[in-house]
Amino acid sequence: MDVGYLAQYVMNGLMLGMMYALVAVGFTLFFGVLDVIKFSHGDVLTVGAFAGLATYLGLDLLGISSPVVLVLCVLSVSALCMALLGALIARYLVLPLRSAPPLNTLLITLMLGTVLRESVRLFYPQGANPKPFPALLPTDSVTMGNFNLRLDNVMMLFAGTIVIVGVHLLLTRTKLGLAIRAVAQDEETAKTMGINFKLIVLITFGLGSALAAFAGIMNGLYYNEINFGMGLLLGVIGFSSAIVGGLGNIYGAILGGFLFAALQTVGAVAMPFASAYKDVFAFGVIILIMAWRPTGLIREKVSERV
Amino acid sequence: MNRPPPPLLVASDLSKLFGGVVALDTLNLEVRANDILGLIGPNGSGKTTFFNVVTGIYPATSGRVTFDGAEITGFSTQAVYRSGISRTFQRSRLSLPLSVFDNIMVGNHKRLNQGLWFNLVRRGAFREEFEANFEEARTLIRVFDAPLAERMFEAVAGFPMIDRRRIEICRALISHPKLLLLDEPSAGMTHDETSALMDDILEVKARFKDLTIVIVEHEMGVIERITNRCVVLNFGQKICEGTYQEVSRDRQVQEAYLGIE
Amino acid sequence: MNDPRPRGGGLIACIVATIAVTAYVIALLVVESQIGILILLAGGVAAVLAAARFGVLARVGEGLARRENTLHLLAVVGVVVATAFFHEDHFILLMMATVILYVLATLGLNVQFGFTGVLNFAGASFFGVGCYTAAVLSMHTAVPHILVLLIGGLMAALIGSILLLPVLRTRGHYAAVVTIAFALLFKTFLEVNDVLGGPQGLRVAGMNLFGWEFNDNIQIGENLELSFYVNYIVLGLILLGLAFAFVRRLERSWIGLNLDAIRLDDTAAACFGLNIARWKITAFTIGNFLTGVAGGLYAMMLGFIAPTNFTFGDSLILVSIVLLGGIGNVWGLVVATTIVIILPEKLQAIQEYRFLLYGAMVILMLLFRPEGLLPRPLRRYFPGWQPR
């Protein structure tokens, strides 16, 4: 195989992996603090992408055309709105069900996902159709043989890395991060140490949801298109990545995301004739991984190190 | 003098590690047939872990367990139950939405016909088995509390803690186990309730001649009253055994409880 | 306290209640104007609330629970009367048959999820397996059609067994993801493959039972013609009756107890010798079988199937029915399916919004009444049995 093609595939895989990792980190954060899975996470991503698109259209109407302003506004509005949405979900749907069977949390967030997805489809103007997403980043590119390195992709990878490193620093270097980790470790002890449990949960859900918004925008910029069903696929893949990495482990989630993207990319390279089956392949891999290592690939290694 | 009967349950060099934490440390312990053995020790000394390892919830890290002359090390929870050991849980684990009768019948699993054909098609035969088991469960629960026996088809969720404990012990007893493991039966109950429940347990012991009981308890009054032998654990090891009077005078035991090094 | 007289309403009250319900459903189906339907719905809700307020509902409910055979008879008579009333109306009879087959399908889900706690978010996929099996076998082979239904169920159970390993090795959330992944995989697979018709779907032959063509209208005498959907209602009702009796017996046996015990606390259950894997496999397989059989007959009735019938959203609707009806309660399924299927057909305004509405309804239900519309009663191994 040509080196150029290979580089192209690696680049695509990295982009996918970055998006999966961002979603997976969200799942891991939620599971960490509350031991719950928030199945609406993927659909929060969708809503985030659409909120970003709406922000762009609004600014466009106002005549703002500076790309830097546009990007910053789109990102911050979308991330803030989704952080709020995530906190609201935690406050009104997840926390009230704490004493109910865990199944109910799963069902309620799954149904909320449906409500969000359907709301986008029904209430966003022509929401049932795919929407073009504007190219907000410079699309200059360098071509080397068969490899076309686009500036916007490099910028997104860079931004994604910064976000993930930022979350990591937040968790490990700040008081807030310490509080989140304390809650994740042991809720009761954290409470007795004077940590406002509820607030920390809301902040964590807000943070995770903002990450989803970021991933949603990234998805829109990468494919130049968004649709109401995009979050379902990304949510399931993100969740699987989080599991592969051992739920509750942020490094595992990141690794899981890239691993999953690698698998998909390798699948696409190895079986070009079956490109139509790429999603079938992805879901098949998820089922196989669950059968093989239901508690994740990383966890055991970590416990050995402890 | 007669030779003493062989012990019913023997743990030899039994160890259980969680990561780096040693919960059971080469524990050697014997339970003699027909005893009511008190298993005591400070928090985290490995009492509940011992139950969980014996019943197969956790695999032992090393060591052996033999029961009634046969090795049961590494047995699944199901196999341990079939061999004649049943238990209650520290935090009562009844199925709250189910009826009293249903909960007790869960404990009777090995004596009920579980065949699909029997259950779904041969309803007449099923009815006979059902009625026989109902009578047996009712007789058993009357040993504890007569009014409770009239409320067999009410959900467990509606009963107070003492009744739940009684139901849980009935669930463990209905299959006629040789060994009954009681994990802190007094937890969450008042002094009077505890006292009433201990009367019940002694009554049960009087009725089931061959029953051996191991009881984990923090209430020393309970231990003093109902056990005829005690084993004291600390840091997963046996530090003392004998009658309650003997162990309560032991210096090591006092140190363990008071935390003196 | 030990009143020997059976409590609950008398037989007359039960019959009156059945007549009222049948008449109400018929009225709901007859009325075309949207305002009229809204008024009827409001009236129905008000009547149920009033009956509940004055204890009528509880008394009739108890009376019917005490006379189960009467209840079954009355239910069948109600369906027969409604069918006779609409004997020419294709559209309404199709709706009724759909309700019957959906109840059959959700009975399967109820065994898995309601009894055993095994989540299955791929219900529509297993329904779809039954449909595609019926399509292939009815168009390309000479297998007798009643066997086609059976094979449809077996295929669903067989394909479900692929998921058994991951479902057994995982719990709660993880198992849910396995079935979600399968639901998405199944729909995508149907769309991209060429053999099974791709996105265009497949045609399905109508049911032919020992020479009796189900897709011909039934001519009785000179001037009475019954819609061909009556055939499907009758066969559907028979299958549903069998499945209903089966699931009821399962529930009222040691096996039903095992399933409940595993759902509520599998660690405790394992400590009393229950083989968790065995009973989960049993429940998952039985459930998929029932769902597959329902799918087979549904496909023959529609005559045409396409991947869009078997989306993840449809699976969620099946789960919603179980949740709304009252988890584990077989009669709850009947009530919830009727609401979920008929409401959007009659109220055109909500047709487009139905996924959204059901999602919202389930959320509210989980928050405020998690036991569902008809909470599941305690197990009674033999109804009416009293200890001596």
Token digits for A188? 């009761």
**Per-residue pLDDT reduced to its tens digit, B122-148:** 989 999 999 999 999 999 998 888 888
Supply the mean pLDDT for chain C. Answer: 86
Contacts for B246-255 with beta carbons within 8 Å, 24 or more apart?
B247/B40, B248/B220, B248/B224
C323/A149: higher pLDDT? C323
The alpha-helical segments, DSSP class H, found in chain C are 11-30, 34-53, 56-66, 68-85, 90-109, 123-140, 145-162, 164-169, 172-192, 229-251, 254-264, 266-271, 276-302, 312-325, 330-346, 348-351, 354-368
Q: At what angle do helices C11-30 and C330-346 cross, to 10 degrees?
A: 30
Q: Report pLDDT for C112.
A: 93
Instruction: Answer yes or no: is pLDDT of C9 > 70.
Output: no
Chains in touch with A (≥3 Cβ pairs < 8 A):
B, C
pLDDT at residue C1, rounded to an integer: 40
**Which chain A residue is nearest to residue B19, measuring alpha carbons?**
A303
Q: Give the rounded percent of residues in chain C with a pLDDT score beyond 70.
A: 97
Q: What confidence category does residue C3 fall into, taking pLDDT thresholds of 50, 70 and 90?
A: very low
pLDDT digits (tens, 9 = 90+) for C76-97: 888 888 888 888 888 889 999 9
Query: Higher model confidence: residue A301 or residue C376?
Result: C376
Average pLDDT over residues C111-125: 91
pLDDT of residue C262: 92
User: Tokens 């140190």 map to which residue?
Assistant: B255
Would the CB atoms of A100 and C352 count as touching at under 8 Å?
A: no
What integer pLDDT is reported at residue B46 of this predicted model?
Answer: 86
pLDDT tens, position by position, B169-220: 999 999 999 999 999 888 888 888 888 888 888 888 888 888 999 999 888 8
Q: Which residues of B touch C277 (CB under 8 A)?
A: none
User: Which residues in chain B are contacts of C290 at CB distance < 8 A?
Assistant: none
If one counts the domains in chain A, the total is 1
Whether A291 has a pLDDT exceeding 90, the answer reads no
A291: closest CA of chain C, how far (Å): 4
pLDDT band at A1 (very low <50, low <70, confident <90, very high): low
Which residue of chain A has the CA closest to B18? A303
pLDDT digits (tens, 9 = 90+) for C225-278: 778 888 889 999 999 999 999 999 999 999 999 999 999 988 899 999 999 999
How far is C-alpha C141 from the geometric centre of its chain's CA atoms? 29
What digits encode the pLDDT tens for the residues A40-51? Answer: 899 999 999 999
- When the pLDDT of each residue in chain B is averaged and rounded to a whole number, the result is 87
CATH number reported for the structural domain that contains residue A166 in this entry: 1.10.3470
Containing structural domain, residue A283: 3-128+152-299
Residue A273 has pLDDT above 70, yes or no: no
- Angle between the A3-34 and A151-173 helix axes, to the nearest 10 degrees? 30
Distance from CA of A199 to the nearest CA of C (A): 21
pLDDT exceeds cutoff 70 at B249? yes
Report how far apart, in Å, the C-alpha atoms of B227 and of each of B34, B215, B221 are.
11, 8, 10
pLDDT tens sequence across C286-310: 999 999 999 999 999 988 898 888 9
Asked if residue A104 belongs to a domain, the reply is yes
Any chain B CB within 8 A of the CB of A192? no
Quick check: is A137 in a domain? no
Report, as an integer, the average pLDDT of B9-38: 86
Out of C253, C255, C260, name the one closest to residue B95 (CB).
C260
- Scanning every residue of chain C, which has its alpha carbon at the shortest distance from the alpha carbon of B171? C272
Kindly report, residue by residue over C336-354, the tens digit of the pLDDT. Answer: 998 888 888 888 778 888 8
Q: Is A295 domain-assigned?
A: yes
CB A148 within 8 A of CB A141: yes
Question: Which pLDDT score is estimated for A300?
Answer: 38
CB of C379 within 8 Å of a chain B CB? The answer is yes
More confident residue, A287 or B107: B107
Nearest CA in chain C to A244: C174
Three-class secondary structure of residue B175 per DSSP: coil
pLDDT for A133? 86
Distance (Å) from the alpha carbon of B104 to chain C's nearest alpha carbon = 10
Chain C nearest-CA distance from A103, in A, is 7
Question: What percentage of chain B has pLDDT greater than the value 70?
Answer: 97
Distance of alpha carbon A11 from alpha carbon C217, whole angstroms: 62
List domains and CATH numbers for chain B: 1-84+177-261 (3.40.50.300), 96-175 (no CATH)
- pLDDT at position C172, please? 63
What confidence score (pLDDT) does residue B25 get? 86
Percent of residues, chain A, with pLDDT higher than 70:
94
Q: Which residue of B has its CA nearest to C256?
A: B119
Max mean pLDDT range (B208-212, B224-228, C109-113): C109-113
Q: What does the alpha-carbon distance between residue B227 and residue C262 come to, in Å, rounded to a whole number?
A: 34
Q: With contacts defined as CB-CB under 8 Å, which chain A residues touch B17? A: none
ipTM of model: 0.90
Inter-residue contact B112 to C254 (CB < 8 Å): yes
Distance separating alpha carbons of residues C180 and C185, to the nearest angstrom: 8
What mean pLDDT is reported for chain A? Answer: 83
Interchain CB distance below 8 Å, C273 and B95: no
Quote the CA–CA distance of C173 and A244 in Å, as a whole number. Answer: 14
pLDDT at C358: 87
Q: Which of C172, C177, C355 sits opposite A118 (nearest CB)?
A: C355
**What is this structure's pTM?**
0.89
Q: Does residue C200 or residue B259 have the better pLDDT?
A: C200
pLDDT for A296 equals 60
Are the C-beta atoms of residues C165 and A294 closer than 8 Å to each other? Answer: no
In a domain, A276, yes or no: yes
The answer to whether C253 contacts chain B (CB < 8 Å) is yes
**In the CATH scheme, what is the code of domain C89-368?**
1.10.3470
CB contact under 8 A, B81 and C265: no
CB A209 within 8 A of CB A44: yes
Point out the residue among B94, B112, B155 whose CB comes nearest to the CB of C378: B155
